Amino acid sequence: MSVVLMYHDIVTTTDKSSGFQNKNAFQYKVEESAFEEQIKALRGKDLVFTFDDGGESFYTKAASILEKYGVRGLFFISTKYIDTPGFLTTEQVKVLADKGHIIGSHSHSHPEIFTKLSKEEVREEWRKSYEILKDILEEKDLPMSIPNGYASKIIMEEAIKCGFSDIYTSQPTTKTKLFQKHNVIGRYVVHDNMTTEDVLRIVNSKGCRLKMALKWHFLNVVKGVLGESYETIKAHVLYH
């Protein structure tokens, strides 16, 4: 039973230019020194470190800190932004894979609300992304993570049809489920206000994980009622 953590960009207080630049994204950008403290405290534990979006900090900050402590990460990339300012370059994606990190997809364009897309649009997101990563990495066994936690049967089904293997969600759980013979793996999000103790608690305390799971289930109900204003209150409920 591994605990899978979900990070995004690793930044400094003066430079948060890596990855998406919107209000929702900033709450997930973890400060470099806090990140290193967390990795130091967590090494040796049964953990998986995952990273979403594809910001250049995967290469410039996250990977080197992980490597310093003998850890490897799982980096999910929104492929449309490769080689654009603030995001990984094609070369950096290759180097990360060469250093033993695992690369996966985080869709092509990172749709704000994935469940609003038609089945064809969902398929295009996964198809384009799979092709791009397959070409860069010469690798067919690629995992994926779903943007903004909008998991649905169609989204998972289309990703599998396009060739993806494991499915990573934003549901805080340590139980791996199966969907059409593919692993569906839950994750616990780490955000910018968390202390090392907070992160350690997720890993060490079943009670803490249960609390996060209950909040998540509650938010899923709210998500259906509130629609687009959901993102704004999500952070408040999850982290306070």
Scanning 47-55, 111-119, 154-162, 228-236 for contacts with Zn ion by CB under 5 A, the matching segment is: 47-55
CB of 168 to Zn ion, least distance (A): 11
Distance of alpha carbon 163 from alpha carbon 123, whole angstroms:
11
Encoded tokens for 90: 């094609």
Q: Determine if 9 is a binding residue for Zn ion (CB under 5 A).
A: no
* Three-class DSSP category at 171: coil
CB of 7 to Zn ion, least distance (A): 11
CA distances from residue 47 to 44, 91, 112, 188, 192 in whole angstroms, order as listed = 8, 28, 28, 11, 19
Scanning 48-56, 97-105, 170-178, 203-211 for contacts with Zn ion by CB under 5 A, the matching segment is: 48-56
Largest Cα–Cα separation, the chain: 45
CB nearer to Zn ion: give 65 or 146: 146
32, 36, 52, 231: residue in contact with Zn ion (rule CB under 5 A): 52
Scanning 30-38, 140-148, 167-175, 196-204 for contacts with Zn ion by CB under 5 A, the matching segment is: 140-148
**Total number of residues binding Zn ion (CB under 5 A)?**
3
* DSSP class of 83: T
CB nearer to Zn ion: give 76 or 130: 76
Residue with tokens 């979006």, as numbered in its chain? 53
Q: Determine if 147 is a binding residue for Zn ion (CB under 5 A).
A: yes
Scanning 27-35, 44-52, 80-88, 188-196 for contacts with Zn ion by CB under 5 A, the matching segment is: 44-52
Restricting to residues 78-117, which ones interact with Zn ion according to CB under 5 A? Answer: none
9, 36, 53, 125: residue in contact with Zn ion (rule CB under 5 A): 53
Distance of alpha carbon 240 from alpha carbon 222, whole angstroms:
17
Distance of alpha carbon 188 from alpha carbon 156, whole angstroms:
19
Q: Please state the φ and ψ torsions of residue 60, each to the nearest 5 degrees.
A: -75, -25
Q: Determine if 125 is a binding residue for Zn ion (CB under 5 A).
A: no
Q: 46-70 b/e with 16+ CB inside 10 Å = b?
A: ebbbbbbbbbbbbbbbbbebbeeee
| Site residues for Zn ion per CB under 5 A | 52-53, 147
